[in-house]
Structure 1
């Protein structure tokens, strides 16, 4: 009981760039959160709603550097997070407006994103939202976000067989894949122990492995599914990120994107 109380909690902020109720990207984030909270001790996933943020307008800022209440609340959630998991839909080859707006608001004044690790998943037509991931990584350079390089997960949502139901939930929840997923969701206990890595390697490096674990488990869950770009993983060193080998190829079947 004492060990459980002393266990460090890693807070992952899950941010979806689509505001659609049945968003496929939202479905990916919900699946990741549900599975990983059960499988990774000490991990807490907070879904951060960005639908209430006003469009960026510096006239809304106060003379003393304050922000509108909705923006202040959002910035607080970003500051409190240890790392981020983005669900990034692709609109017109780039980042969706709501997500870019959220990134900009939390970078005003004191940059709330700085020096924190992040991972990206996406779903949609065409390349499965993959092009938005590259633009999000570019924005992250200036924001000082540390995006993990692998795994990458892009789900072509409109390619058969269906991967999401009408509510935007991953269809694996209704078939035997759910039991297989439970067997795949394994994590090295050392990743959550305070003394698992040298003092100089804690912080960003340590927290980054948790969002990496989330995306790798989603990739494993969907391994072999047609229309999914994912990767196989091999664990090497607890002080370094995992090494991934690409096992699938991109295929283009749609040009319209729908997050």
Structure 2
């Protein structure tokens, strides 16, 4: 796992929905980490390949799950929020990402770690649509798992190869600005949903 900000900050776990080491969505997350506002720590989880295919037989042997599942589940549980960058495969989210979410949605010694977790979704693709359909299907899965998905703004990075330089750095000014605004919005979203429920309730009139 790669950490980019001081440990005293609000912690966000970042997941790329691709196993390719230098995938565009992983690069987008690294760019997000560099653009993170003060007080926000972004950790990129690099071990999604260690999560096996979901299998209830594996789960029955150990409710905590295989080692790769335990590591991912613990990282999600410890984070204040989850940032997911998804590619689009055949007009939907990738199987490796759906598989990880299937594991995370299950009851475990750490509980259902996605339930009540603030989540933001973004994505990048080489085509002209910027993973719109993948993000829509990912949002549906996350809502079903009880995650608190940030409703807006959206970030669809299209023609991604034009946004990064040969070294893998995000250099497109408009995309950088959109990413900064996206992260500020997610920081505000985490703050909003983290408020105690009592503060969200109408207060009784004094007698």
TM-score interval (norm. to shorter): 0.7 to 0.9
Q: CA deviation at 1:168?
A: 4.2
Structure 1: 4+ residue segments shifted above 6 A: 184-188
Q: Distance in 2 between matches of 1:70 and 1:79?
A: 14
Alignment-derived partner of residue 115 in structure 1: 116
Q: CA deviation at 1:158?
A: 5.3
Alignment-derived partner of residue 164 in structure 1: 164
**Gap regions ≥5 residues in structure 2:** 1-6, 201-207
- Asked if structure 1 preserves the Cα contact closer than 8 Å seen for 2:24 and 2:160, the reply is no
**Gap regions ≥5 residues in structure 1:** 1-6, 192-200, 207-238, 240-259
Which residue among 45, 61, 72 is the counterpart of 1:48? 45
Alignment-derived partner of residue 98 in structure 2: 100
TM-score, normalised with respect to structure 2: 0.75
Alignment-derived partner of residue 24 in structure 1: 24
Q: Distance in 2 between matches of 1:139 and 1:80?
A: 21
Q: Distance in 1 between matches of 2:62 and 2:89?
A: 36
| 1:136 maps onto 2:133 in alignment | no
Q: Distance in 2 between matches of 1:99 and 1:187?
A: 25
Across the aligned residues of Structure 1 and Structure 2, the Cα RMSD in angstroms comes to: 2.9
| 1:57 maps onto 2:65 in alignment | no
| 1:11 maps onto 2:8 in alignment | no
Deviations 1:93-132, CA, capped at 9 Å, x for gaps: 1111111111111112231111011111111124111111
State how many pairs are aligned.
178
Which residue among 86, 89, 92 is the counterpart of 1:88? 86
Deviations 1:30-62, CA, capped at 9 Å, x for gaps: 1111111xx322x21111121211111121124
Q: Which has the higher strand share?
A: 1
